[in-house]
Amino acid sequence: MKKILVILLATFVVASSLFANGKPEETSKTEDGKTVISIMHYMGEETKRNGLKTLCETYTSIHPNVEFEIQAVPYSQFGQQLQTKIAAGDVPDVIGGRPRDFKQFVNAGHIEALDGQSFIKDLPESFKNEMSLDGKVYGIPLDYSIKGVFYNIDMFNEYGIEVPRTYNDFIKVLDTFEAANQIPFARPFKDTNAPETDFKGSFHVTLAKQNPTMWEEIATGEKHITDFPIFKEELTKYVKRMSYSSFDDYAYDGSRALQIFAAGEAPMMINGAWITGDLLSLNPDGNFGCFPIPWSNNPEDNQYEVKGDDAMMVAKGSENKDIAIDFINFVGSVEGANIWMDKARLIPTNVNVVADETMPTLLKELSSNLANGWGCSSANVLELTGEPKAIYRQALHALVGSENLKSDLDGFIEQLDKDLTSALAK
């Protein structure tokens, strides 16, 4: 028996070390005179990862003494891992993420201000604003996050439905599907943050126009949600669109819901432009479009929620700060933006880059809709962070599956206020 064990283990070790590609890299920053820049990000899509890889390889080809060490972490783990690294003084040189989502780390002085860097002049004004805190720019977004209702054009035609531009029309569309026994939405509500993402798609457009400081005032404890009647108004509409028949939403994660939508089992899915690549690879012959979530009866109000996405920041404590910043400038340059558009298949933020012909029709259409003023930047809406954000997300997650909560929205908001207050007092 012992012999077998020894032989077995030896075979495993030898076999796996033979097949294991990639040497066990050194953790040290420099080896044989080369500088290693570490990047930590949470991009999930294969296309985006390839884009980042190509950006790094291109940079290395220009600066042969710089190499990269890329670490991908799932979104759900990202904040935790970043925090441990900061606590232990082990911060990566380049950090993926929007400065405002990691306000704590920016305020504590762990992120480098990037004012005056060359990429900024090519960035649209709204993104400059979105990437800054207290008047300083801390990050660069690589592309647009555009949120709206993705829909199956063929199914809309089949049911004789036109794209709704007002709230009332939207409800009519939902009623039509309901009457035809067709579940209207594919929803990825297995993920705790998905119902909030869904709600935000319309609510943050509302906030951006009417009450951009709502969450800040709540975070400082000055006000409560009950002080903002708009919240209940919008939540009521949200609950209404949740009330239509659905799949086993809590059991389906993002990919499963996307498969359902791609396969034509549901005509609509509220999501962001980042799904385009996966959607088209699941159903290359599909005919899809995207319209802004109609929350108002005034068509002008109904716009896509637009934000910067795939942002990058530089760590203040980085030993190779100058190179990291130079890399960021490269990423934001016309050359970098072209690489990103080409590989990641997303609309780049650099104003001097024009969408090329090979872009999927869906993205081209989105891009031209944006140019026609269909987008609304929610950059001025500062969201909750830390525990309050988790409480808010969890509350919405619980709400979408509970008839009791849905039927008593006042009670729901009151409890949410209580929980937020006690979290803020911790």
Partner 1 sequence: MKVDSKHSTKIISIIMIIVTLIVCAPFYVSFVYSVKTNQDITFTRLAWPKIMHWANYTKAIEMSNFFKALYNTIITTVPTVIIVTLFSIMAAYVIARNNTKGYNRLYLFLVGAIVIPFQAIMLPLYINLKNWGMLNTVEGFVLVKSGSLIAITILLVTGFVKTVPYELEEAATIDGATYPYVFFNIVVPLLKPIVLTSLIINAVYTWNDFQIALVILQKDYARTLPLTQFFFFSEHSIQLNLAFAAFNLSMIPLLVIYLIFQKYIVEGITSGAVKG
Partner 2 sequence: MQTKIKRKNIWDLMFVAPACVLFFVFIILPFLQGIPYSFRDWDGFSPQINWVNFKNYINIFKDRMIYSSSWHTLQFTFVEVVFSNVFGLLFALGVKRKSKTNNILRTLLFMPFVISMVLASFIWSYVYSDVIAPIFNTRSILGNTTWVMTGLGFISVWRDAGYCMVIYIAALNAIPSSFYEAASIEGATRRRQFKSITIPMIVPAITANVSLLLSWGLKVFDYPFSITGGGPGTASTTINLYIYNNIFGFYHAGYGQALAIIFTIVIFLITTVVAKTLRSKETEL
Least separation in angstroms between CB 416 and partner 2: 11
Q: Which of residues 270-299 bind partner 1 (CB under 8 A)?
A: 278, 282
**Min. distance of Cβ 412 from partner 2 in angstroms?**
11
Q: Which of 29, 47, 58, 72 binds partner 1 (CB under 8 A)?
A: 72
259 contacts partner 2 (rule: CB under 8 A): no
- Smallest distance, partner 2 to C-beta of residue 292, A: 28
Give the C-alpha separation, 92 to 318, whole Å. Answer: 7
String of DSSP letters for 200-241: HHHHHHHHHHH-TTHHHHHHTTS--GGG-HHHHHHHHHHHHH
CB neighbour burial string for 229-240, b if at least 16 within 10 angstroms, e if fewer = eebeebbebbbe
Q: Which of 42, 146, 43, 139 is nearest to 100 (CA)?
A: 139
Find the shortest distance in angstroms from Cβ 299 to partner 1: 35
Does position 422 bind partner 2 by CB under 8 A? Answer: yes
> Of the ranges 184-192, 197-205, 217-225, 281-289, which one interacts with partner 2 (CB under 8 A)?
184-192
Does the footprint of partner 1 cover residue 352 (CB under 8 A)? Answer: no
Say how far apart CA 45 and CA 358 lie, in whole Å.
19
DSSP string, 85-141: HHHTT---SEEES-GGGGHHHHHTT-B---TT-GGGGGS-HHHHHHTEETTEE--EE
Quickly tell me which residue has 């805190």 as its tokens: 133
Question: 72 is in the binding site of which of partner 2, partner 1, none (Cβ under 5 to 8 A by kind)?
Answer: partner 1
Using rule CB under 8 A, residue 33 touches partner 1:
no
CB 91 within 8 A of CB 112: no
Q: How far is the CB of 385 from partner 2 (least distance, A)?
A: 8
Residues 6 or more apart whose CB falls under 8 angstroms from that of 238 comprise 198, 199, 202, 203
CB of 187 to partner 1, least distance (A): 16
Rounded Cα gap, residues 145 and 225, in angstroms: 27
Ranges within 49-108 binding partner 2 (CB under 8 A): 76, 79-80, 83-84, 86-87, 104-105, 108
Indicate whether 1 belongs to the interface with partner 2 (CB under 8 A).
no
Return the closest-CA partner of residue 199 out of 229, 237, 172.
237
Beta bridge partners of 185: 268
State the Cα–Cα distance between residues 68 and 320, nearest whole angstrom: 12
Task: Look at residues 259, 272, 278 and name the one whose alpha carbon lies nearest to residue 48.
Answer: 278
Question: Could you say which of 191, 278, 309, 310 contacts partner 2 (CB under 8 A)?
Answer: 191
Q: How far apart are CA 82 and CA 69, in angstroms?
A: 16
CB of 27 vs partner 1, minimal distance in Å: 6
Query: Which residue lies nearer to partner 2 by CB, 299 or 401?
Result: 401
Among 49, 190, 224, 232, binds partner 2 (CB under 8 A): 190
Site string for partner 2, 102-141 (x = CB under 8 A): --xx--x-x-------------------------------
Look at the alpha carbons of 275, 276, 278, 284 in this order and tell me if their dihedral is positive or negative.
Answer: positive
Residue 62 touches which member of partner 2, partner 1, none, C-beta under 5-8 Å by kind: none
Sole binder of partner 1 in the list 60, 182, 192, 255 (CB under 8 A): 255
Residue whose tokens read 């525990």: 387
Q: Which two tokens stand for residue 88?
A: 């232990």
Select the span of 88-96, 300-308, 342-350, 412-420 touching partner 1 (CB under 8 A). Answer: 88-96
Q: Give residues in contact with partner 1 (CB under 8 A).
A: 1, 4-5, 8-9, 12-13, 15-22, 24-25, 27, 44, 69-74, 76-77, 81, 84-85, 87-90, 253-256, 258-259, 263, 278, 282
Q: Give residues in contact with partner 2 (CB under 8 A).
A: 76, 79-80, 83-84, 86-87, 104-105, 108, 110, 189-192, 248-252, 386-387, 390, 394-395, 397-399, 401-402, 418-419, 422-423, 425-426
